Structure 1
Amino acid sequence: MKAQTKISVIMVMFLLGASMAGSANAQSFSSTATTTSFTFTRNLTLGAQGDDVSALQKFLIGKGLLNISTSTGLFGRLTKKSLGVWQTSVGISPSVGFFGPISREKINTVILEVSITTATSTTTPPTLTSTVYGCSSSVGFSPMTGQPCGIVSAIVSTTTSVAVVNTKNGSPVHLKIPKINVDAGFQYNGLTPDGTMEIPNNVVDIGWFTGSVRPGEKGTSVITGHVAQIRGGVLMKPGVFINLKELSVGDTLTVLNDKGESFTFVVRETRNYDPSADATDVFMAKDNGAHLNIITCEGTWHPDQLSYSQRLVVFTDLVR
Structure 2
Amino acid sequence: MTVRFAAAGAVLGLALAVGAPTAWVLSRPDAAAGPPVDQVLERPAAPATAPPASELPSVSVRDAAPTVDPAVAPPVRIEVPGLGVTAPVDPVGIADDGQMALPEDVDRVGWYRFGPQPGAAGNSVIAGHVDDREQGPGALFPLRTAEPGEEIAVTDAAGEPTRWRIVSREVIEKDVLPLDEIFRREGPPRLVVLTCGGPFLPEFRSYRDNVVVVAEPVPGTTP
Question: TM-score w.r.t. structure 1 length?
Answer: 0.48
Deviations 1:46-86 (Å, cap 9, x if unpaired)? xxxxxxxxxxxxxxxxxxxxxxxxxxxxxxxxxxxxxxxxx
Post-superposition offset of 1:129: 10
Greater strand fraction, Structure 1 or Structure 2: 2
Displacement of 1:203 in angstroms is 0.4
Cα 1:130–1:263 shift into 2, 3 Å = closer
Alignment partner of 1:289 out of 176, 188, 207? 188
From 154, 158, 161, the counterpart of 1:255: 154
Select the residue among 174, 182, 187 that pairs with 2:85.
182
The corresponding residue for 1:193 is 96
Residues 1-320 of structure 1 aligned to structure 2 (within 5 Å) = 20=2, 145=14, 153=63, 155=65, 169-230=72-133, 236-279=135-178, 280-284=180-184, 288-319=187-218, 320=221
1:289 Cα deviation from its structure 2 partner: 1.8
Q: In 2 relative to 1, CA 154–283 (structure 1 residues): closer, same or farther, beyond 3 Å?
A: closer
Structure 2 unaligned blocks of 5 or more: 17-59
Report the aligned-residue RMSD. Answer: 3.1
Q: Is the Cα–Cα contact under 8 Å of residues 176 and 254 in structure 1 kept in the other structure?
A: yes
**Cα offsets for 1:188-210 (capped at 9, x unmatched):** 11012342211112100011011
Check the 8 A contact 2:5/2:63 in 1, yes or no.
Answer: no
Aligned partner of residue 281 in structure 1, secondary structure = helix
1:154/1:249 CA distance change after superposition, 3 Å: closer
Residue 136 of structure 1 aligns with which residue? none
Task: State the alpha-carbon separation in 1 of the partners of residues 79 and 5 from structure 2.
Answer: 37
Distance 2:151 2:164 in 1: 6
SS at match of 1:243: helix
State how far apart, in whole Å, the 2-side matches of 1:253 and 1:131 are: 27
- TM-fit CA distance, 1:145: 3.5
Find the structure with the greater CA-based Rg: 1
Q: CA deviation at 1:267?
A: 0.3
Deviates more, 1:242-251 or 1:273-282: 273-282
Deviation at 1:281, TM superposition (A): 1.8
Q: Which has the higher contact order (CA 8 A, sep 6+)?
A: 2
Taking the aligned partners of 2:141 and 2:170, their CA distance within structure 1 comes to 16
Percent identity over the alignment is 25
CA distance in structure 2 between the partners assigned to 1:258 and 1:310 by the alignment: 32
Q: CA deviation at 1:217?
A: 1.1
CA distance in 2 between counterparts of 1:259 and 1:229 reads 31
| Superposed CA offset, 1:30-56 (max 9, x none) | xxxxxxxxxxxxxxxxxxxxxxxxxxx
Shift, 1:240, TM fit: 0.4
Deviation string 1:123-171 (CA, Å, 9 cap, x unpaired) is xxxxx79768xxxxxxx969x8479xx9551659xxxxxxxxxx85221
Q: Supply the AA of the counterpart residue of 1:292.
A: L
Asked if the contact 2:89/2:109 (under 8 Å) is kept, the reply is yes
Q: Do the aligned partners of 1:146 and 1:275 also contact (CA within 8 Å) in 2? A: no
In the aligned structure 2, how far is the partner of 1:282 from the partner of 1:154? 13
- Structure 2 CA distance, aligned partners of 1:301 and 1:270? 19
Q: CA deviation at 1:241?
A: 0.8
